[in-house]
Structure 1
Amino acid sequence: MASSTDPLLIARIGKPHGLRGEVTVQTHTDDPETRYVPGAVFDTEAKPGTGVPRSLTLTTARLHRQIWLLGFAEIPDRTGAESLRGTQLFLDLDTVEQPENDEDDGWYEHDLVGLTVHDPAGAVLGEVTGLVIGAVQDLLEVRLTNRREVLVPFVEAIVTEVDIEAGHVVVDAPAGLFDLDES
């Protein structure tokens, strides 16, 4: 399981927008209004040889037709923006002010990966291997004890408990959920 000092994936850069260096992003944060603040400095991860700076300073952030558009101090034009395509943006959690409300119902992927999956009776079903962020609902990627990979809708009716400290989640799977992709 990742530690709280690991950088947090915030977004993946898509295509350029316009001529002034703005880019579209696929958002991986539950709170873009708080994360996309001018002056925020993102660490980057890009393919070797792309010339992408190791960090980018946010200058503009706006929502356009339900897509976030970001501009960076280091990227003045469309040519520079094109070079960013596919770059991942990370924030160092140690430098980001965290909300004081500990009753938040959200979890980050690095919090969930590695947790043991139990059924309501306590039997081990498998392990969380990832989180798929969806437009309508998120899905937990789970590797069952028989090594098959399944997707579990990350909704309260099915994932009834998430206990990070105890290292497990409880999945009350409806009949057939784990048999859907079995051949």
Structure 2
Amino acid sequence: MELVVGRVVKSHGVRGELVVDVRTDSPLERFAVGSRLLGRTGRGDNATDREVIVEAARDHSGRLLVRLTGVSDRDSADALRGMLLLVDSESLPETDDPDEFHDHQLVGLRVLDTVGAQLGVVTEVVHTPGGELLSVLLSDGGDALVPFVTGIVPEVDLGSGTCVIDPPEGLLDLGTS
């Protein structure tokens, strides 16, 4: 299974650097010099994949700037706008911390309330400067962003494919359609 670790937002400067929207908890590891990633442009049947190699990466004003081998000017960098940067989930190390999860382990979990009623399904893990949020497609067709903190998500059971949430009043009403 391939996992998105970043998305090219735009070019930066004239030497081929790329502004990357980071979608991983381990950007230093994923974007280390020499890292090989899968770059995907397009969608569905029009998707094209190619291997890309990280030549350099640096933080710049809170953004990650990445230079890929063979991308040496603004035009070639602009051509990569929107490219997804992926890794194979098999390459991710196992974690010994029972309270730590990879994003792909959480996506697809059924979301239950504290009495066991199904509320929805986790569709994405959103990384923000304030912490992680679970994007939940609610059973009523709406959606909600649930802070992924122990006080609100007290239990994750990968074996049963569920997570229990104890949302504060109104949390699930904010994102509904």
State the TM-score, normalized to the length of structure 1. 0.84
Partner of 1:38: 33
Identity of aligned residues (%): 38
Runs of 5+ in structure 1 lacking a partner?
Answer: 1-5
- The 1-side partners of 2:49 and 2:125 are apart by 28
Partner of 1:76: 72
Match of 1:115 among 109, 113, 127: 109
Aligned-pair distance for 1:179?
2.8
Is the CA contact 2:133–2:148 (under 8 Å) kept in the aligned structure 1? yes
- The 2-side partners of 1:54 and 1:97 are apart by 20
Does 2:96 match 1:102? Answer: yes
Q: How does 1:115-154 map to 2 (within 5 A)?
A: 115-154=109-148
- The 2-side partners of 1:143 and 1:70 are apart by 33
Match of 2:85, as an amino acid?
Answer: L
Does 2:13 match 1:18? Answer: yes
Match of 1:41, as an amino acid?
Answer: R
Pair 1:163–1:13, CA change in 2 (3 A): same
Is the CA contact 2:4–2:84 (under 8 Å) kept in the aligned structure 1? yes
Match of 2:169 among 162, 171, 175: 175
Match of 1:150, as an amino acid?
Answer: A
Tell me which moved more, 129-138 or 104-113. 104-113
Q: Which runs of 4+ in 1 moved over 6 A?
A: none
Partner of 1:92: 88
- The 2-side partners of 1:134 and 1:182 are apart by 21
RMSD: 2.3
Higher-strand-fraction structure? 2
Q: Deviations over 1:120-146 (max 9, x none)?
A: 222222222222222213221223332
Tell me which moved more, 20-29 or 139-148. 139-148
- The 2-side partners of 1:176 and 1:20 are apart by 48
State how many pairs are aligned.
174
Aligned-pair distance for 1:84?
0.8
